[in-house]
Amino acid sequence: MPIGKIRRATRYISRYREIIGVLVRYGLADWARRIDIDFAREILTNKADPNLLAHSTEERIRMALVELGPTYIKFGQTLSLRPDLIGVALSDELTQLQSNVPPDPFEKVEKTACEELKTALDEVFAEFDKEPVASASIGQVHRGRLKSGEKVAVKVRRTGIAEVVAADLAILKDLAELMENYIDESRYFRPKETVDRFSRTLTRELDFHREARNIMNIKERFADDRNVVIPLVYEKHTSEKLLVMEWIDGVSLNRIDEKSHLAVDRKEIAERGAEFFLKMILIDGFYHADPHPGNIMVIDGGKKIGLLDFGMVGRLSSRMREYIEDMVAAIITKDNHKLVRAVTKAGELPRDFDQTALAADITDYITYYGSMPVSKIKMFEALNELVEIIHRHHIVLPAEIVTLMRTLVTLEGTGRFLTADFNLFSLIEPYQKQMNATAFAAMRKITRARRFYEELSDFIETAPPAMSDIIERFRRGTLEIHMEHKRLEQSVNRLVFGVLTASMIIGSSMVLSASVPPLLFGLSLPGILGYIISLLMALRILWSLMVSDRLD
């Protein structure tokens, strides 16, 4: 195999061995045994821990990611947002991943903060708590107060985390390339594409400027809503490694039970919070994508709600919103044909796609949920089952749609955490009716017509010159077609080696029959040597086939 592509620096090799060792111990390295990884052969001969094998595959994957550290925990959290790629069962298991990383010592925090502020802490802050109020894999949050008197939350990036992430991302990219090149069934999971997207996402998350911009965007868009509190960002003190924002006094939803003195209408808070998120999603198209109870706060005894942690946001283009609207409308109106069209238009279809089989599964899905009143439909059950159908048919949805689906599932889970009879579908229905209103529907048709006209104009403008160029190249005999053959070099090498072996056998036979001197016991010595070399070459080919378990 072209193992030369793997980074051979000592720091990478030791990490490779550690990763493969963990995978073997958790019984997750079967795929790696198919690849001739020279420095990992000894590890791959080990056996999995029987105690760990008692857990389900999904649990073992989660436990292995936790052991591998912050980058892999983040990778698992990202994969949890792609149930269309990995399946609902594994996606649900990976949502339980928590970083639980011990905080950096205050000396390191102070050093980073001072470097970013370009001055001493006491020049900017009147108070700065040494103990963090929260600690995660990328950074930790400290409470403070500015010299001007404002209470603030100070998020500081971990020391050395960028270097650790860079090394682990390089290894992940190598492993993804190996899987895609050598494990045929992995193509359904898009390893390289998934790792590339994760790499971009995590690299952006390391830059606190982006989180600050997310906060300011949402705050600006909902500046007139007095019932929601978005923290103010202090741009003057914010940098790539430091984020200073307004401290919000309140109680997070997951701690309401601990604050027994706080009497709030849980159902009202659930519905008010959900309606705010639906406005962000369906009206604005830019939204906070992680609405779990720890990121939503109750303020002023339940009169207001506040949002925290804007590292994960979602964006919906107008076209993606149309796809979502079509899917929701199809479920509500029990139109299975419309849902099939929406899914196939939105997703990327595999080469062996079977539309008849998809239509049959969608019909069963619509029959089941279409017989229920909207007030009885549980969003997380309906979306998870739809995603499971999509995953079964190897359809890959755009990341925007999958992020939205996961956000809606999390949002309904948060609502049900507050009140058992919470129903997100009932809150979506008025928005769906608004979408079907005459004015809105007419505007949507105008938008689609304009987009169709623009695409048609682009096609008319670019297609004729392209066709003319192809015809002219064909006429001149300069048309070139480039084809890529994966792993063809290995097969060709074996074929050439086999032909040479056969030639050596034939040549040696001719030398023996002609009794070419010198002779040994009446036999041609060159002929005997030729047979010995041919035998060794044949054994080499046989050994290669046995080791790879392949005949290519």
Please report how many Cα atoms fall inside a 13 Å half-sphere around the Cα of residue 196, on the Cβ side: 7
Long-range contacts formed by 525-534: CB under 8 A, 24+ apart: 530/504, 530/505, 531/505, 533/504, 534/501, 534/504, 534/505, 534/508
Structure tokens at 315: 């964006």
Structure tokens at 393: 């048919």
Catalytic entry in 84, 104, 168, 290: 290
DSSP states of 214-240: HHHHHHHHTTT-TTEE-PPB-GGG--S
Q: What Cα–Cα distance (Å) separates residue 286 from each residue in 220, 317, 321, 364, 443?
A: 12, 9, 11, 33, 20
∠ CA 79-4-172, nearest 5°, is: 10
- Collect all residues with Cβ–Cβ distance below 8 Å to 80 and sequence separation of at least 6: 91, 92, 94, 95, 97, 406
Asked if 104 is an active-site residue, the reply is no
Taking a C-beta distance cutoff of 8 angstroms, is the pair 369, 327 a contact? no
DSSP states of 143-165: EEEETTS-EEEEEEEPTTHHHHH
Whole-number CA gyration radius for the chain: 30
Q: What letter does residue 114 receive in the DSSP assignment?
A: H
| Distance linking the first and last C-alpha atoms of the chain | 13
d(C-alpha 389, C-alpha 399), whole Å: 17
User: C-alpha dihedral over 473, 475, 478, 480, to 10 degrees?
Assistant: 70
Give 146's strand partners: 125
- H and E: helices and strands count for the chain: 21, 13
SS3 for 299?
strand
Q: Please provide the size of the chain in residues.
A: 552
SS3 for 421?
coil
Picking from 242, 212, 243, 208, the residue whose alpha carbon sits closest to that of residue 230 is 212
- Collect all residues with Cβ–Cβ distance below 8 Å to 29 and sequence separation of at least 6: 20, 23, 44
Residue 157 phi/psi, 5-degree rounding, is -70, 145
User: C-alpha dihedral over 25, 29, 30, 35, to 10 degrees?
Assistant: -140
What angle separates helix 191-205 from helix 70-79, to the nearest 10 degrees? 120
User: Burial level of 496, CB count in 10 A (0-12/13-18/19+)?
Assistant: exposed
Residue 255: count other Cβ atoms within 10 Å of its Cβ: 14
Indicate which residues carry an active-site annotation. 290
